A and B are shown apart, each in its own frame.
Chain A
Amino acid sequence: MTQMKLPATTISRNFIDNPNYEKEHSETNDSPNTSTFTLTDDIPNHRDSLINQDSEFEIEDFMYSDDDFEYDDDYNQTYDSMLTKPVKRSSKKELSEGAVPNLSYEILTTQDIFENMLARVDHLQPIFNMPREDILLLMQHYDWNEERLLENWTERMEELLVEIGVSQADVRPTDINVVKDTDEINTSETKIERGITYKEGFNCVICCEEKDTQTFSLECGHEYCIDCYRHYIEDKLHSGNVITCMDCTLALKNIDIDSIMGHNSSKKLMTSSIKSFVQKHNKNYRWCPYADCKCIIHLSDTSSLAEYTRLHYSPFVQCDTDHRFCFNCGFETHAPADCNVTNAWVKKAKKESDNLNWVMSHTKECPKCEVNIEKDGGCNHMKCSSCKYEFCWICEGDWAPHGKAFYQCTLYKNDENSKKTQNDELSKTMKKYTFYYRVFNEHEISAKLDWKLGQTIGSKVRALQEKMDVSWIEGQFLTDSIKILNEGRTALKWSFPVAFYSDASHNLTKIFVDNQSLLSKAVEDLSELLQIKEPEEIMKKRLEFYNKSGYVENRMYALMECGRDLLCKGICKPTDQIFK
């Protein structure tokens, strides 16, 4: 279980990409302090290299001078900020944590939650004074709600036990349901034991087959053949509810299930029970929305969420596999847009004809030779492979003015639009939407390609280590850069819905669009830089990596704040009416 607060984890996250880290530190994994020790070898190295390079970043030397520095949590943070100094990660915290309370959350899996529950069962054991298996049943029945269980327990202990099926009612359940001509149950009046037995010529009342078979029964004596029981349990494992005898309320314990179904089957039941628990407590628990990700975020204190909404912040969380998403709406990180804008945008996008937009945004014709081009990675500086024409992917104009001049591609050109459609208001708004949707989509596709690029970054770092004799920690600037590229791209992407829903005539909107352009330029630059493959070239341009990613980050937070301003002042309103 990872009890985490945002600042403390930033450093340990850097280790996730190191393939050896798990192996080396598997025994000491859970203590944050031990992981800092592993860094100590690299500190002087890192510092030297930075200083030797005459880095333009200020490095406060006194931090290093103290040899007896204590490796406590403070150090953890100090070192963290030192490490990331060039990219100024701290600025993020000032921005996002100043106004709203810090979110403190846990990252769990169903297994973690189950173990948590087991611990609670142990805790309850002295109160109930019964086997753990039985308490587990009670908890499962009460959806793992300890308080409600205890309350009912004190009120009506005996009834509860019968109701939940832990113990039998005194009166034998009347066997009205049993087919008369099978007297199997009535013949075995003596004390019946739970478990599997082997019977010859057993007549099962469920399948009505007479055969030599293993049978199972609980203390209630309702005995059925093992095949029927297996079939019965198989169907119920996914529901997560307590499984009872087929004919009465007596419950099957996990050991019974395992003995009938084979090893570990009860685990399936427990997992589905925990899943429904998470689903039911969706105020505090949320699944990571990314495909195949098994992380669950647990936010025990949700009181601050209202404050987030009020200030148009979004409670972004990050799971163990580095997926960042909004705890509120379950969508990916969507700053500068808030949940409302996101929701409106996504709904709108769904409504419009997807196919057309898809085709539009996936292929383009070369403006010169009209060959169809699909962009499969990299920045927006395109070079047609057939006619060698260089153009900008977004505006499809000549690239030459883009290179140095001010980057105009995020601006929506009103005048150009009015040329074609004079009075048709509807098609105008449609066109406006199409434009924004297209840029949004393009950045989404680029983000996906960047993500793929990010998957290869590990091998790039290794190449640096092998060929350039660079230590692992030093190669991390690449990993950091790609992370920032991803974040910047996402922010840029979600800034288009904000721009779309904003009052275009307002001054702040203009500032916002300018900010967009700046970030867009910064992101494209960084993206281009990350296309470099040769390790020598990468090391040469290391400083550029730092600078550019730092710049992207700064621009990103500026854009986010600007967008929030638009939202707070009501200039950006996600309404559908204007655009219908």
Chain B
Amino acid sequence: MASLPKRIIKETERLVTDPVPGITAEPHDDNLRYFKVTIEGPAGSPYEDGLFNLELYLPDDYPMEAPKVRFLTKIYHPNIDRLGRICLDILKTNWSPALQIRTVLLSVQALLASPNPNDPLANDVAEDWIKNEQGAKAKAKEWTALYAKK
């Protein structure tokens, strides 16, 4: 494997020495660009008390290109589809090289705290969310208990 850019080494180091509360990110032994990530469901959200597994991959062109992030744990969320893909602007058009792994993960956590059903990725979930917010949140809670048990 080509040598790892200093930027990635530095970010990895800092994720270990100065971790973000509620988030862990560990590089894979075989591929230092591949991270195993866990995010705790934010307090006060239907995802509270859940622990979600994600994968994060830094493409060759990182930091010019955004990292690829995907949920591995099933989650009921209007901006996350069945395959775990996330609809988040900074992962697509609004990516900036000044952002980092930690900021991305913080944004994902923030997305869990405040879903945006008006810009959905999972259409059925978003529809449910708009029509019957209480019911949708209950279902999200149910799924959290079912799939994201700590």
The residue on A at minimum CB distance from B106 is A176
Contacts A206-B63, A231-B64, A232-B64 hold; do A246 and B98 have CB atoms under 8 A apart?
A: yes
Whether a CB of chain B sits under 8 angstroms from the CB of A208 is yes
Whether a CB of chain A sits under 8 angstroms from the CB of B6 is yes
Of B7, B96, B103, which is within 8 A of A207 by CB? B7
A177 to B14, CA, bound (A): 13
Output the least CB separation between A242 and chain B (Å).
Answer: 12
Of B7, B96, B103, which is within 8 A of A208 by CB? B7
Of A179, A222, A232, which is within 8 A of B10 by CB? A179
Q: Are A222 and B6 within 8 A (Cβ)?
A: no
Whether a CB of chain B sits under 8 angstroms from the CB of A24 is no
Whether a CB of chain A sits under 8 angstroms from the CB of B97 is yes
A179 to B7, CA, bound (A): 11
Q: Are A207 and B14 within 8 A (Cβ)?
A: no
CB-defined contacts of A208 to chain B, threshold 8 Å: 5-7, 9-10
Whether a CB of chain B sits under 8 angstroms from the CB of A63 is no
Whether a CB of chain A sits under 8 angstroms from the CB of B146 is no
Q: Are B63 and A179 within 8 A (Cβ)?
A: no
CB-defined contacts of A207 to chain B, threshold 8 Å: 5-7, 63
Pick from B9, B14, B98, B103 the residue with the most CB of A within 10 Å: B98
A178 to B10, CA, bound (A): 13
Whether a CB of chain B sits under 8 angstroms from the CB of A205 is yes
Output the least CB separation between A68 and chain B (Å).
Answer: 66
CB-defined contacts of A178 to chain B, threshold 8 Å: 98
Q: Are A206 and B98 within 8 A (Cβ)?
A: yes
A232 to B5, CA, bound (A): 16
The residue on B at minimum CB distance from A182 is B10
Q: Kindly supply a per-residue 1/0 record for chain A positions 194-237, scoring 1 wherever the CB is within 8 Å of any chain B CB and 0 otherwise.
A: 00000000000111110000000000001000001001100100
Whether a CB of chain A sits under 8 angstroms from the CB of B99 is yes
Whether a CB of chain A sits under 8 angstroms from the CB of B116 is no
Output the least CB separation between B103 and chain A (Å).
Answer: 6
CB-defined contacts of B14 to chain A, threshold 8 Å: 179
Q: Are A177 and B103 within 8 A (Cβ)?
A: yes
Whether a CB of chain B sits under 8 angstroms from the CB of A247 is yes
Whether a CB of chain A sits under 8 angstroms from the CB of B100 is yes
A259 to B63, CA, bound (A): 23
Contacts A177-B103, A179-B14, A206-B63 hold; do A247 and B6 have CB atoms under 8 A apart?
A: no
CB-defined contacts of A231 to chain B, threshold 8 Å: 64
Question: What is the number of residues of chain A that contact chain B, defined by CB distance less than 8 Å?
Answer: 16
Of B5, B7, B9, B98, which is within 8 A of A177 by CB? B98
Q: Are B103 and A176 within 8 A (Cβ)?
A: yes
CB-defined contacts of B10 to chain A, threshold 8 Å: 179, 208
Contacts A228-B97, A247-B98 hold; do A209 and B6 have CB atoms under 8 A apart?
A: yes
Pick from B9, B64, B100 the residue with the most CB of A within 10 Å: B64
Output the least CB separation between B63 and chain A (Å).
Answer: 6
CB-defined contacts of A206 to chain B, threshold 8 Å: 7, 63, 97-98
Q: Are B98 and A222 within 8 A (Cβ)?
A: yes
A246 to B61, CA, bound (A): 15
The residue on A at minimum CB distance from B14 is A179
CB-defined contacts of A205 to chain B, threshold 8 Å: 98
A232 to B99, CA, bound (A): 13
Q: Kindly supply a per-residue 1/0 record for chain B positions 42-82, scoring 1 wherever the CB is within 8 Å of any chain A CB and 0 otherwise.
A: 00000000000000000001011100000000000000000
Q: Kindly supply a per-residue 1/0 record for chain B positions 86-113, scoring 1 wherever the CB is within 8 Å of any chain A CB and 0 otherwise.
A: 0000000000111110010000000000
Pick from B10, B65, B97 the residue with the most CB of A within 10 Å: B97
Output the least CB separation between A291 and chain B (Å).
Answer: 31
CB-defined contacts of B98 to chain A, threshold 8 Å: 177-178, 205-206, 222, 246-247
Output the least CB separation between A137 and chain B (Å).
Answer: 18
Output the least CB separation between B62 and chain A (Å).
Answer: 10
The residue on A at minimum CB distance from B99 is A177
CB-defined contacts of B64 to chain A, threshold 8 Å: 231-232, 235
CB-defined contacts of A246 to chain B, threshold 8 Å: 96-98
Output the least CB separation between B51 and chain A (Å).
Answer: 25
A228 to B64, CA, bound (A): 8
The residue on B at minimum CB distance from A247 is B98
Of B6, B9, B97, B100, which is within 8 A of A232 by CB? B97
A247 to B95, CA, bound (A): 10
The residue on A at minimum CB distance from B63 is A206
Q: Are A247 and B7 within 8 A (Cβ)?
A: no
The residue on B at minimum CB distance from A209 is B6
Q: Are B100 and A177 within 8 A (Cβ)?
A: yes
Known interface pairs A206-B97, A235-B64; 5 further A-B residue pairs with C-beta atoms within 8 A, sorted by A's residue number? A206-B7, A206-B63, A207-B63, A208-B6, A231-B64
Sorted nearest first, the 5 A-B pairs with minimum C-beta distance are A247-B98, A208-B7, A208-B6, A246-B98, A208-B10
Partner-B contacts on A (CB < 8 A): 176-179, 205-209, 222, 228, 231-232, 235, 246-247
Can you report 24 residue pairs joining A to B where beta carbons are below 8 Å apart? A177-B96, A177-B99, A178-B98, A179-B10, A179-B14, A179-B100, A206-B7, A206-B63, A206-B97, A207-B5, A207-B6, A207-B7, A207-B63, A208-B5, A208-B6, A209-B6, A228-B97, A232-B64, A235-B64, A235-B65, A246-B97, A246-B98, A247-B96, A247-B98
